[in-house]
Structure 1
Amino acid sequence: MPPAPDLSVPGTDDGGAFGIDAFTLDDRLRLFHFAAAEKRHEYLWLLRAFDRGRANYQVLLHASEAAALIGGLAAENPGAAAVGDVQPLLDALAEWRVLDRSYDGTRAANLAEYRNRHYVYQFTQAGYRAYRAVEDVVGAALEDAQLSRLVFPDILADLAALAEANAAGDAEEVYRKLGRLDSVLNEMAQRAARFYLMLGDLARTNDARPEVFLAHKDALLAHMREFTAELGRYAPLLAQAVEKAAASGVERMVEYAAEADERLFRSPAARLDDWRQRWAGIVHWFAEREHSEAERLQDATVTAIRSVLALLRRVTEARRGGVSRESQLRHLAQWFTSCAGDDDAHALFQAVFGLGAPRHIAVPYADPELIAGRTSWWEAEPVELARTLVQSGRTPSLKGPGRIERNDAERARLRATQVREQAERRGAAVSLARDGAYGRVLDEAETRALFSLLDVALAARVPVTRGVGGGAAASGSAHGVRLTLTPTQPGESFTTVRTVRGDLHLDGLRLEVSG
């Protein structure tokens, strides 16, 4: 994963601050005051005017120029907030250090104007970051929450180019490829996080607007299925590419990237540590091991598909049966409008919502001497009530929590069975790698291990072809061994693996199991 941003200035011994590092924690939090102020809409449009001027290479703005830019934005956006006098807004933003205020004496045409305050304003470095952060939140849309399945071929190509550049000693190319991989992985992680948050919001709001879910459920399911299929296809290829890049020399790769890094205010040791962490993040994503980020992402996508299907089932059944929260509330509203009088409506209200006689009429104060008995209910402090008394009418008991029944013997038996099965699968895979799959009859455990390895290798959907240099091969690993499917030799049409379940014929393929 990408490392946390370092806001300090390594390599400086005088303790001084530079740029954004001059801002203390309180100063950085004050940067967002404009987003919660009473005139927050006016502040936002004023900062948008400064952003428009910045895009047009007009960095320093006078109050009149800022007002003119706001007028242009208002003409383009009819829903823009009306901004009156901009001078108080500019002074407040300068006080919060969102804007930097400087004196411009060149604008004075006479002595009177020279004596008057004549300021120009521009974004501070931290202020512009705060403004962009607010704009990112304001402009966020659900269309941005999508899984990117088209990045896997680019990641695979970049890993291959990284290994070649590291082997050739091209420091600048190593720097470019590592930086590109880091940014792509960071964006993919952010997209995945937004996507699963969007699914959670959709699941919580399906009762209010089920038609939105029904309208987009086909595209949503197709999107997730295509992503998980592409991820399963490229996961073993990406793991092999990471291993190949690591084999070319990790320390040399990190040194090349740090050498080409042009961040002036980072010491050489800090740059080395930064790029070492970035490479560790890439390995954590795609290396062939348990609980990698690619495996977790695939599991999360499969779980999300099941959740969406369950949600679709609930919505469909509710619409087919005609009973849902919306239909019940509409039916209840029709009952209220059909009541002959207010007394009938009140009776219906009490019967539906259960707001009858109070259950807490006899609850005393914890210390009755603090409140005089002749004090009116309207003036006395309210009595604290237990939740169980208000909700169910039962007085809370002082009993402790219920006893948890633990079946330790059954848990120990299940755990022992699980450990034994894992050991059997690992032992069968090791014997399969040691003795090979041909020329003998595989027992039941070895047969199961072989089938599981074939499932992993064939799930990648990599075609096995002959060609110059050996052609393409499919592979998969499990239980600590690797199975590789290669084309048969010329003149050999198929190979046969004999098992206790029967003979397994592989048309045009030969399998090899290695430790």
Structure 2
Amino acid sequence: MLPVNPNAPVDARIRAVPETKYLNADNVARYRLIMRFFYDNYRKLKYWLKPEEVFEAVSATGRVSEYTLELCRQDLEVLTEWKNLAKRHDGGRAATIEEYLRKRFRYQMTRYAVEIERMLEALENLQGYGGSLEPTLLERLAGYLRTVVERDTAFTPDEAGRLWRDIQEAFRNLQENASDYLASLHSGRAEELMVTEQFLPFKDRLTHYLQNFMVGLQKYAPQIEGILRRTDPDRWEQFLHAVVQADLLMPSLEESFTEEEQLCRRREEWAVFVQWFTGTDREESDVADLERETKNAIARVVRMAVAIQERRRVGLSRRQELDDLGQWFFRIDSRAEADKLAAYAFGLFRAHHFQGEPQRISDAGDLSMWDQPPQVRALGSRSRARRRAGSAEPVRDTRREQAETRALVLARKAAESEVVARFLELGEFDLSELDRLTPFHRQVLLQWLSRCLSNVSRTAHTPEGLEVHISDPPDRRRTVLQFEDGEMSLPDFHVRVREVTAR
């Protein structure tokens, strides 16, 4: 167990709150009526009340039976014991002997009690989450920060205090309103509305509202982050010192803080503000979370609207529509017009990707896919029905495919041998001396040039037992080679090809 220091000050965040006892006490009805009467007079700037005034007000409501002045005094003492009320001696002139003998008191609400009643009043009028998405708050924050950065002279305490209150108020409203509004889109009532037909007329206004906030968020949030990151920290420190001076000049009869304590509080509040827009090394900023949640809300609204529209279409017969479309296709003579109509009617079909390298008949870049031969791919069955265990499968005869493959390989080798024999017959030649060539000549020639250029000696050896050497053309001369499917411009290399004998 951790040791407890009895002399240590009690942290307000973890201490017991006796001021809320009257909300769940046995006589809660009487206590609530008394505290609400005090709160109504507090807003009328009438702070100290007599027991007789409280008794008359509670009795006038008619909600408490057999209520006496003595019971009212007891209730006031209980509320004083729970620190909801503070009392002081009433030194007025006594009208009767009983009043002279009895101590007379007046009662006033404590600060805690005022905030509790204010919270209860807000809860009584609460309907849903409320909130709003206001991009003007971001614009205002960016303007306030520019005022601090662009100020040439030092802030006076009054100016710094007003600007600090404006920054904190706009920041608090942005946080609370945005959180409440986005939470309302996930409430049970919103879920019920989004699945009904009544949501469709509301969808456009809601989407426009969210998109308008998203535009403001994407416009001003980076500006605020940039200002916070680029500005010298000393400038913000000077501003906080001026804010603290404004706090010290404000007279307060309650608990006061030293200058160092007040400066520490303002630094903590400023650190929260900076982290909300810039984040940390380990976590992204809260404004990024807000942007992501807003995008998700827009996508969710659109999905719900599409789902409602899809449900509308269920059960509608499209037989006549499809019949008219089929007749339209039947009357078209050209394939190009049919392709256009299919694009308008069905849009783009889902693409299917097959692994493998296609067989191109030419290297021309302007060759259309319609001019190439079809690529045959065997697709496996997607049926979930399993083959019965132990059933026999026929043995496929692949001798025909093997013979066709063998013939293609031999033909390719023969063509390659013919090309190599032609270059070997030439021995030495310039590229400009070559006549019209085939695409296969180009493939072999470019392979040789690539191997030679990658070697410092400009020499390469081929698997056929040839030694190929190239020399750079004089004066960087270039030439254009003619092929059956086009032209190619490249340096006019001098090529020497000879056959070498293996040792």
TM-score in terms of structure 2 length = 0.51
Judged with a 3 Å threshold, the aligned counterparts in structure 2 of structure 1 residues 168 and 302 are, in CA distance, closer, same or farther, namely same
> What does 1:189-204 correspond to in 2, within 5 Å?
189-202=175-188
Does the 8 Å contact 2:200/2:305 carry over to 1? Answer: yes
> What does 1:388-407 correspond to in 2, within 5 Å?
none
Give 2:277's match in structure 1, choosing from 275, 286, 293. 286
2: distance between equivalents of 1:317 and 1:107? 81
* Residue 228 (structure 1) shift: 0.8
Give 2:86's match in structure 1, choosing from 100, 108, 118. 100
Give the SS at the match of 1:122.
strand
* Residue 284 (structure 1) shift: 2.0
Q: Does 1:174 align with 2:160?
A: yes
Give the SS at the match of 1:121.
strand
Give 1:228's match in structure 2, choosing from 214, 219, 226. 214
1: distance between equivalents of 2:237 and 2:39? 42
Give 1:63's match in structure 2, choosing from 45, 51, 57. 51
Judged with a 3 Å threshold, the aligned counterparts in structure 2 of structure 1 residues 211 and 253 are, in CA distance, closer, same or farther, namely same
Q: Aligned residues, how many? A: 297
Does the 8 Å contact 1:166/1:174 carry over to 2? Answer: no
Give the SS at the match of 1:100.
strand
1: distance between equivalents of 2:14 and 2:52? 32
1:295-327 deviation line (CA, Å, top 9, x unaligned): 2211111112122333344455567769xxxxx
> What does 1:12-411 correspond to in 2, within 5 Å?
25-26=15-16, 28=17, 30-69=18-57, 82-84=63-65, 85=67, 87=72, 89-106=75-92, 108-116=94-102, 118-142=104-128, 144-165=130-151, 167-202=153-188, 205-206=191-192, 210=196, 213=199, 216-243=202-229, 245-246=231-232, 249-262=235-248, 265-287=256-278, 291-315=284-308, 317=310
Larger CA Rg, structure 1 vs 2 = 2
Bigger RCO of structures 1 and 2 (CA < 8 A, at least 6 apart): 1
In structure 2, give the amino acid aligned to 1:285.
Answer: W
* Residue 59 (structure 1) shift: 0.6
Give the SS at the match of 2:187.
helix
1: distance between equivalents of 2:277 and 2:9? 40
1: distance between equivalents of 2:289 and 2:115? 32
Does the 8 Å contact 1:228/1:301 carry over to 2? Answer: yes
Does the 8 Å contact 1:206/1:213 carry over to 2? Answer: no
1:155-197 deviation line (CA, Å, top 9, x unaligned): 1221122224474343432333233212321221111221222
**Which consecutive unaligned segments of at least 5 residues does structure 2 have?**
1-6, 316-503
1:30-84 deviation line (CA, Å, top 9, x unaligned): 3222323455455334322211211222111123323455588x6xxxxxx8245
TM-score in terms of structure 1 length = 0.50
Give the SS at the match of 1:97.
coil
2: distance between equivalents of 1:203 and 1:316? 20
Does the 8 Å contact 1:166/1:248 carry over to 2? Answer: no
1: distance between equivalents of 2:49 and 2:313? 62
Judged with a 3 Å threshold, the aligned counterparts in structure 2 of structure 1 residues 168 and 104 are, in CA distance, closer, same or farther, namely closer
In structure 2, give the amino acid aligned to 1:43.
Answer: Y
**Which consecutive unaligned segments of at least 5 residues does structure 1 have?**
1-13, 75-80, 323-515
Does the 8 Å contact 2:194/2:304 carry over to 1? Answer: no
1:381-400 deviation line (CA, Å, top 9, x unaligned): xxxxxxxxxxxxxxxxxxxx
Does the 8 Å contact 2:184/2:190 carry over to 1? Answer: no
1: distance between equivalents of 2:120 and 2:270? 31
2: distance between equivalents of 1:38 and 1:126? 21
Does the 8 Å contact 1:100/1:124 carry over to 2? Answer: yes
1: distance between equivalents of 2:198 and 2:242? 51
Judged with a 3 Å threshold, the aligned counterparts in structure 2 of structure 1 residues 215 and 103 are, in CA distance, closer, same or farther, namely farther
1:258-282 deviation line (CA, Å, top 9, x unaligned): 2322277212222222222222223
In structure 2, give the amino acid aligned to 1:306.
Answer: A
2: distance between equivalents of 1:117 and 1:133? 34
In structure 2, give the amino acid aligned to 1:126.
Answer: Y
RMSD across aligned positions (CA):
3.7
1: distance between equivalents of 2:102 and 2:136? 59
* Residue 224 (structure 1) shift: 1.4
1:418-461 deviation line (CA, Å, top 9, x unaligned): xxxxxxxxxxxxxxxxxxxxxxxxxxxxxxxxxxxxxxxxxxxx
1:217-240 deviation line (CA, Å, top 9, x unaligned): 443322211111111121233234
1:347-368 deviation line (CA, Å, top 9, x unaligned): xxxxxxxxxxxxxxxxxxxxxx
2: distance between equivalents of 1:211 and 1:71? 51
Give the SS at the match of 1:197.
helix
Judged with a 3 Å threshold, the aligned counterparts in structure 2 of structure 1 residues 105 and 249 are, in CA distance, closer, same or farther, namely closer
1: distance between equivalents of 2:23 and 2:306? 42
Judged with a 3 Å threshold, the aligned counterparts in structure 2 of structure 1 residues 89 and 304 are, in CA distance, closer, same or farther, namely farther
Judged with a 3 Å threshold, the aligned counterparts in structure 2 of structure 1 residues 316 and 83 are, in CA distance, closer, same or farther, namely farther
2: distance between equivalents of 1:285 and 1:240? 13
